């Protein structure tokens, strides 16, 4: 039976990432009136980022509940979770490429990878027509009756009884719920992409062999992964001041300037790495890494909540971001459609209490991993983690 709490209620999800789309799918399966407002002009507006590895108890659990497991199996990237661990000289210290890695769905240690763009297509195709309202750049909202009036850049204004912020790390919805701000983790990443990697960077393409690379040296990292469509994404990860990108004087649209910076800041790193800089698309994108306070909470409202990075942004060093967002979607949809709660506020509180605790544990693990990965003995630590025997 549909829960009376959201019967006849209009639900607005702000942001059409994995979390927001998963939530819309799960709510629609329960017969709920939900719209997703997404700032992108249309579904093809931008290239999605690096592939995601789905975890059994979170991302995969949400996909199974959304009845999308078969679609996922048809579209994931077999072998993309294969890993190489290198030192700064690009010498291989660990490889699981030789192992016969079974595609073992249902095994908690199996983390199948899927291209973000492909996952988005699967989720979009699962929704009722016109669920996503494109070109809806959220500007502001104000209380109206029991809910909210939402205002968008394109002049659209809509009423919603319940608003769910799924609009990422720089959420515009979050300030309506809490003044608590994420803190800087001390780590910055510089993102680069190489299109048609087989042709552009044959040496690195051959080495990565459809999987991923983690390289450690001098307290700095290069993290790299095969993307769908033959592209290759990479991140330089290092400790820096929060305002490094403004203070560094590096022209991120100039490959040569970025390569010169790399030579200075990654001393003793092999020239093997240079090819990815020479062939990368520009501009490179600096990403200071933030984390929500581990003890955060706020006063639960009856008409507003958050999922994903909007609720609990965390460093990417545990691979939990999208998985947490999709698990948020699963747990929130269950609470909102359960008959166990006397009010919408009670249902949202039940979700938020679990979410805060779960996110704090994941963020703590991710912060610890980040410290380990940027320590002087990072290579040794990571080898022990991947090869405990």
Q: What is the largest CA-CA distance in the chain?
A: 64
Two tokens, residue 274: 């240079």
Burial of 262-272, coded b for 16+ CB within 10 Å and e otherwise, reads beebbeebeeb
Residue 42 counted as an annotated binding residue: no
Residue 44 counted as an annotated binding residue: no
Which of 365, 116, 370 has the alpha carbon at shortest distance from 237?
A: 370
Residue 135 counted as an annotated binding residue: no
Determine which helix (DSSP H) or strand (DSSP E) holds 259, and give its type and residue range: helix 255-265
Residue 46 counted as an annotated binding residue: yes
Two tokens, residue 64: 């199974």
Strand intervals (E) in the chain: 10-14, 33-37, 52-53, 83-87, 92-95, 113-114, 132-133, 138-144, 147-152, 157-160, 162-165, 183-194, 212-217, 220-226, 232-239, 285-291, 304-306
Confirm if 190 and 204 have CB atoms less than 8 A apart.
Answer: no
Region of residue 229 (phi > 0: left; psi between -120 and 50: alpha; otherwise: beta): left
Determine which helix (DSSP H) or strand (DSSP E) holds 73, and give its type and residue range: helix 69-75
Question: Any residues with CB less than 8 A from the CB of 224 and at least 6 apart, and which?
Answer: 204, 208, 212, 213, 214, 215, 232, 233, 234, 235, 276
Region of residue 42 (phi > 0: left; psi between -120 and 50: alpha; otherwise: beta): beta
Q: Which residues are annotated as a binding site for NADPH?
A: 46
Annotated binding-site positions: 46, 53, 116, 309
Name the binding residues for FAD: 53, 116, 309
């Amino acid at each position: 039976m549909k829960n009376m709490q959201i019967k006849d209620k209009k639900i607005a999800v702000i942001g059409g990432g994995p979390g927001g789309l998963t939530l819309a799918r799960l709510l629609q399966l329960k017969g709920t009136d939900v719209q997703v407002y997404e700032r992108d002009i249309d579904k093809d507006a931008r290239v999605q980022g690096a592939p995601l590895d789905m975890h059994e108890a979170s991302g995969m659990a949400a996909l199974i509940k959304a009845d999308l497991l078969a679609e996922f199996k048809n579209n994931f990237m077999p072998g993309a979770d294969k890993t190489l661990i290198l030192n700064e000289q690009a010498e291989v210290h660990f490889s699981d490429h030789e192992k016969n890695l079974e595609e073992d769905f249902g095994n908690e240690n199996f983390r199948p990878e899927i291209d973000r763009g492909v996952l988005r297509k699967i989720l979009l195709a699962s929704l009722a027509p016109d669920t996503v309202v494109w070109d809806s750049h959220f500007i502001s909202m104000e209380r109206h009756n029991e809910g909210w009036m939402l205002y968008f850049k394109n002049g659209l204004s809509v009423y919603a009884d319940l608003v769910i912020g799924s609009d990422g790390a720089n959420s515009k919805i979050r300030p309506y719920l809490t003044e608590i701000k994420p803190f800087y983790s001390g780590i910055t990443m510089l993102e680069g992409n190489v299109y048609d990697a087989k042709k552009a960077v044959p040496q690195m393409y051959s080495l990565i062999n459809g999987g991923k690379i983690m390289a450690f040296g001098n307290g700095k990292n290069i993290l790299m992964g095969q993307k769908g469509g033959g592209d290759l994404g990479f991140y330089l990860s290092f400790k820096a001041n929060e305002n490094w990108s403004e203070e560094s004087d590096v022209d991120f649209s100039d490959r040569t300037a970025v390569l010169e910076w790399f030579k200075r800041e990654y001393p003793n790193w092999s020239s093997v790495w240079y090819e990815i800089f020479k062939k990368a698309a520009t501009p490179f994108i600096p990403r200071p890494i933030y984390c929500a306070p581990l003890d955060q909470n706020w006063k639960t409202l009856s008409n507003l909540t958050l999922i994903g990075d909007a609720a609990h942004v965390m460093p990417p060093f545990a691979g939990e971001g999208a998985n947490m967002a999709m698990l948020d979607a699963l747990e929130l949809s269950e609470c909102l459609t359960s008959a166990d709660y006397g009010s919408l506020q009670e249902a949202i509180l039940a979700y938020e209490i679990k979410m805060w605790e779960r996110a704090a544990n994941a963020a703590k693990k991710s912060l610890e991993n980040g410290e380990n990965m940027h320590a002087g003995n990072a290579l040794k630590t990571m080898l022990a983690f991947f090869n405990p025997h």
